[in-house]
């Protein structure tokens, strides 16, 4: 048995001391370490298994203590982290004490950007290349590692357009595994399919003799060709789509052949022109269940391996599952509903809708801006588009929501999963800005669901609301057990009206207006304080418009208010309440807002993150008691439930 290699690697300098023949063993150890940990804690599995050899080869050839390595999306960074001294952080993956699931400059100088959104790496790498050049450090290599699903993002194309103008070394490594989270979409995906199977790309040696014939005399490419090694000569592609962006295109090459990758990077690294290396990889490589079902193992929950069988951990019913089932019912009832997602079919539940209603459901790929604009076009034809998207990714379509949707008064329905704190993915994926981003849009309606019945009711409201765009938020969490039995007991959503969840016995000492799923946390607190304090709890339902008539009654009765939201305080639901009161000339000195403070919340469990920002039971209880201790005792009780 060969001695273990991974435990001896503290920096990439240790990696460079290994022989080429030892690298496959290292690759196997990295895969085993990642599989063992993700099986325990969950995390991104298949994306990381697919880039093990690419990452080893990059660190073996380049010096990223000085050179620049930029990740696109970043969910494929585990091998990179294990090669840069963070093996000891792996056992606490995606927790505050352990390794973040995405690149994090606070964790290591080898991570240049904290990233979790697709399409960004090429542009930031171009920026660093230009900055280094002006700083007299053109010898610093710039490399962007990008997936085939990410590179078709609009921002990535903008980056490519500018990369082609660089008059220096620049390398884009295209990690082509034929997947995003699920099957990639669009014409570019079909192009990559053709490239992978084309015999023109499959045999370097047969192509080598024809390359010079297609190169114009005196061109840069001819110069590069003549001073290249045999391997690079055989791999240069003259009819690759990205050649038209001014990049020298190489490949496809086998992204799991370590000796070839090392040789190729050694030949490419000193080319003083932009180069794109097209590497074909297998998502989930080395773990058969992940290779067979890369979508299920993209970011699985903990799992167990029992012989040839793999069991994924199951949890309680999620808001995502509730959304999918509600939409299945609505789409069956209304043939005008059209549902769209942007490469997040499984994550939003839209994959179920695609299977049932393929003609009225579309996955656009990683292009939220296009998806929002497409929804505007669909709405213009009289259909009812629903855009299912993560809250953090909805930010990427703000301009389109402004120009093509809100400005046109079009009824596009935006359903934002993962709103609020998201747990292990950390700051790159928190959905804490959607209220403040979309609330300023004239004519927009913002609403939130607190459980499955209110989710169904909110979707029904959106289906029938045609006066402008609607934006619904719900968290990455399990749906709470609802007091409404059956669901039809849940009051229908009425524009701008809150719903009383826990009525007071008399004139309440305090009123809580909770927006979204924190209604249930607040309900637990109210029940525990019921013996000593009389508190009314409302499900606010709408952040725009807020229930100004309810606010007028509460404030006129001199009752303090706490607003509660899983969102940034700046521009959020509480701010909407303050603004509405100011416009109605109502005093606001007795309104206390609870929400996210102005700081980044690192990876941890969602429960721990809510506690950190004071949105757990203890934090809400403390806020209530603090408000009550500073408020004068109420006057004798009025009649019950007037507020």
| Boundary of a domain, candidates 286, 303, 334 | 286
Q: So what's the pLDDT on residue 186? A: 58
- pLDDT tens, position by position, 509-521: 999 999 999 999 9
- Look up the CATH number of the domain holding residue 109: 3.40.50.970
- Which of the pair, 218 or 171, is modelled with greater confidence? 171
CB atoms within 10 A of CB 20: 12
Kindly give, in sequence order, each residue whose CB lies less than 8 Å from that of residue 408, ignoring residues fewer than 6 positions away. Answer: 376, 380
- The kind and range of the H/E element at 333 are helix 319-333
* Statement to judge: residues 476 and 589 lie in one domain: no
347 located within any domain: yes
457 located within any domain: yes
Tokens 């949105």 — which residue?
615
* Statement to judge: residues 434 and 572 lie in one domain: no
* Statement to judge: residues 388 and 511 lie in one domain: no
CA-to-CA separations, 196 to 177, 209, 259, 376, in angstroms, rounded? 10, 21, 21, 35
2 located within any domain: no
Give me the number of domains the chain comprises. Answer: 3
Give percent above pLDDT 70 in the chain: 87
| Boundary of a domain, candidates 468, 489, 510 | 489
Say whether 29 sits in a helix, a strand or coil.
helix
Res 217 pLDDT > 50: no
Res 310 pLDDT > 70: no
Q: So what's the pLDDT on residue 241? A: 78
The band of 309, judged by pLDDT with boundaries at 50, 70 and 90, is low
- pLDDT tens, position by position, 342-401: 999 999 999 999 999 999 999 999 999 999 999 999 999 999 999 999 999 999 999 999
The band of 634, judged by pLDDT with boundaries at 50, 70 and 90, is low
The band of 229, judged by pLDDT with boundaries at 50, 70 and 90, is low
Are 385 and 340 contacting, i.e. CB atoms less than 8 angstroms apart? yes
Res 192 pLDDT > 80: no
* Statement to judge: residues 520 and 473 lie in one domain: no
Res 144 pLDDT > 90: yes
- pLDDT tens, position by position, 476-509: 999 988 887 777 789 999 999 999 999 999 899 9
* Statement to judge: residues 135 and 242 lie in one domain: yes
4 located within any domain: no
| Boundary of a domain, candidates 242, 263, 286 | 286
State the average pLDDT over residues 123-147: 96
User: For residues 216 and 238, what is the distance between their CA atoms, to the nearest angstrom?
Assistant: 11
* Statement to judge: residues 222 and 174 lie in one domain: yes
Kindly give, in sequence order, each residue whose CB lies less than 8 Å from that of residue 218, ignoring residues fewer than 6 positions away. Answer: none
Give percent above pLDDT 90 in the chain: 77
Q: So what's the pLDDT on residue 199? A: 46
* Statement to judge: residues 467 and 587 lie in one domain: no
- Which of the pair, 635 or 430, is modelled with greater confidence? 430
* Statement to judge: residues 139 and 261 lie in one domain: yes
State the average pLDDT over residues 528-549: 96
548 located within any domain: yes
- Which of the pair, 327 or 197, is modelled with greater confidence? 327
- pLDDT tens, position by position, 3-49: 899 999 999 999 999 999 999 999 999 999 999 999 999 999 999 99
Say whether 174 sits in a helix, a strand or coil.
strand
Are 330 and 459 contacting, i.e. CB atoms less than 8 angstroms apart? yes
403 located within any domain: yes
Q: So what's the pLDDT on residue 251? A: 82
- pLDDT tens, position by position, 116-133: 999 999 999 999 999 999
- Look up the CATH number of the domain holding residue 556: 3.40.50.920
* Statement to judge: residues 280 and 349 lie in one domain: no
Domain that holds residue 395: 319-489
Kindly give, in sequence order, each residue whose CB lies less than 8 Å from that of residue 336, ignoring residues fewer than 6 positions away. Answer: 382, 383, 384
User: For residues 5 and 17, what is the distance between their CA atoms, to the nearest angstrom?
Assistant: 11
* Statement to judge: residues 276 and 408 lie in one domain: no
User: For residues 592 and 149, what is the distance between their CA atoms, to the nearest angstrom?
Assistant: 45
The dihedrals phi and psi of 385, each to the nearest 5 degrees, come to: -80, 135
* Statement to judge: residues 272 and 161 lie in one domain: yes
User: For residues 628 and 472, what is the distance between their CA atoms, to the nearest angstrom?
Assistant: 32
- Which of the pair, 423 or 305, is modelled with greater confidence? 423
Q: So what's the pLDDT on residue 315? A: 74
* Statement to judge: residues 469 and 550 lie in one domain: no
466 located within any domain: yes
Q: So what's the pLDDT on residue 209? A: 40
> Any idea which residues carry the catalytic annotation?
283, 368, 396
Say whether 162 sits in a helix, a strand or coil.
helix
State the average pLDDT over residues 134-159: 93
CA-to-CA separations, 275 to 118, 132, 254, 265, in angstroms, rounded? 20, 18, 17, 11
Q: So what's the pLDDT on residue 46? A: 92
559 located within any domain: yes
Nearest to 575 by CA among 557, 558, 588, 586: 588
Say whether 44 sits in a helix, a strand or coil.
coil
């Amino acid at each position: 048995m060969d001695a273990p290699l991974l435990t001896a690697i503290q920096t990439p300098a240790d990696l460079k001391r290994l022989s080429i023949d030892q690298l496959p063993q290292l690759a196997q150890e990295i895969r085993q370490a990642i599989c063992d940990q993700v099986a325990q804690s969950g995390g991104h599995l298949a994306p990381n298994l697919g880039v093990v050899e690419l990452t080893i080869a990059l660190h073996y050839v380049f010096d990223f203590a000085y050179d620049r390595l930029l990740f696109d999306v970043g969910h494929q960074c585990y091998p990179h982290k294990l090669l840069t001294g963070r093996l000891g952080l792996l056992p606490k993956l995606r927790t505050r004490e352990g390794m973040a699931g995405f690149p994090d400059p606070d964790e290591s100088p080898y991570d240049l950007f904290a990233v979790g959104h697709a399409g960004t790496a090429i542009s930031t790498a171009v920026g660093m290349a230009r900055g280094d050049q002006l700083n007299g450090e053109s010898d610093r290599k710039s490399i962007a590692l990008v997936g085939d699903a990410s590179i078709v993002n609009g921002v990535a194309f903008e980056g490519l357009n500018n990369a082609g103008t660089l008059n220096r070394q620049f390398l884009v490594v295209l990690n082509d595994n034929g997947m995003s989270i699920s099957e990639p979409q669009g014409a570019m995906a079909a192009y990559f399919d053709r490239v992978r199977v084309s015999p023109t790309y499959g045999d370097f040696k047969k192509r080598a003799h024809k390359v010079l014939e297609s190169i114009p005399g005196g061109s840069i490419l001819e110069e590069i060709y003549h001073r290249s090694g045999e391997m690079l000569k055989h791999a240069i592609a003259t009819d690759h789509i990205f050649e038209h962006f001014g990049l020298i295109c190489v490949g496809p090459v086998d992204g799991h052949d370590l000796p070839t990758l090392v040789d190729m990077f050694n030949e490419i690294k000193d080319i003083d022109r932009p180069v794109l290396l097209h590497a074909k990889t297998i998502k989930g490589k080395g773990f058969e269940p992940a290779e067979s079902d890369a979508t299920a193992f993209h970011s699985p929950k903990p799992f167990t391996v029992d012989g040839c069988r793999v069991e994924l951990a199951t949890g309680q019913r999620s808001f995502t599952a509730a959304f999918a089932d509600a939409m299945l019912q609505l789409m069956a009832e209304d043939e005008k509903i059209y549902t769209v997602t942007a490469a997040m079919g499984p994550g939003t539940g839209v994959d179920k809708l695609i299977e049932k209603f393929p003609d009225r459901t579309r996955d656009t790929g990683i292009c939220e801006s296009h998806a929002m604009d497409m929804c505007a076009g669909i709405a213009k034809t009289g259909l009812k588009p629903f855009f299912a998207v993560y809250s953090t990714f909805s930010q990427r379509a703000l301009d389109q929501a402004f120009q093509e949707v809100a400005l046109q008064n079009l009824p596009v329905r935006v359903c934002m999963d993962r709103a609020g704190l998201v747990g292990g993915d950390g700051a790159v994926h928190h959905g804490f800005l959607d209220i403040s981003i979309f609330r300023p849009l004239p004519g927009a309606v913002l609403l939130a669901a607190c459980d499955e019945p209110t989710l169904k009711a909110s979707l029904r409201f959106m289906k029938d609301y045609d006066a402008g765009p609607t934006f619904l938020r719900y968290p990455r969490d399990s749906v709470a057990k609802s007091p409404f039995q059956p669901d039809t007991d849940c009051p229908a959503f009425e524009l701008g009206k809150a719903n009383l969840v826990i009525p007071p016995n008399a004139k309440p000492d305090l009123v809580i207006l909770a927006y979204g799923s924190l209604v249930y946390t607040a309900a637990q607190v109210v029940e525990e304080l019921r013996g000593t304090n009389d508190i009314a709890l409302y499900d606010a339902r709408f952040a725009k418009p807020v229930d100004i008539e309810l606010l007028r009654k509460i404030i006129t009765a001199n009752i303090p208010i706490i607003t509660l939201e899983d969102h940034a305080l700046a521009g959020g639901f509480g701010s909407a309440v303050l603004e509405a009161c100011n416009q109605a000339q109502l005093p606001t000195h007795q309104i206390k807002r609870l929400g996210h403070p102005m700081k980044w919340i690192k990876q941890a469990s969602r429960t721990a993150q809510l506690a950190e920002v004071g949105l757990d039971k203890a934090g809400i209880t403390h806020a209530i008691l603090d408000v009550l201790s500073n408020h004068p005792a109420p006057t004798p009780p009025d009649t019950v439930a007037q507020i």
